[in-house]
Amino acid sequence: MKNMKLNNNLECPMLGLGTFMLSPEDAYTSTLEALKMGYSLIDTANAYVNERAVGRAI
C-alpha cells in the first residue's frame, strides 16, 4: 500500500477500508480480508454499530 506524508511528517495510508453501513457480520469478514490484503487503515465508529465486530477482526 502507498502512504502519503502529512504536514506533521507522519505517514498515512492512501487507501483504507470504510465500514459505514456494513452489518456487524459483514464488517467482521471485510476487515479480516482487508487485513490479509495489507490494509492498515480501517475506519469504524460506535455510531456504525459494527465497531465491536471490527475490533474482533483486528
Helix count and strand count (H, E) for the chain: 2, 4
Q: What are the tens digits of pLDDT across the range 13-48?
A: 999 999 999 999 999 999 999 999 999 999 999 999
- Give the SS3 label for residue 6: coil
Q: How far is CA 19 from CA 1, 6, 10, 24, in A?
A: 19, 23, 24, 9
Q: Could you say which DSSP state residue 9 is in?
A: S
| Active-site residue (options: 48, 52, 56, 57) | 48
User: Is pTM beyond 0.85 here?
Assistant: yes
Q: Does the annotation mark 48 as catalytic?
A: yes
The confidence score (pLDDT) of residue 1 equals: 81
Closest CA to 46 of 38, 54, 58, 36: 54
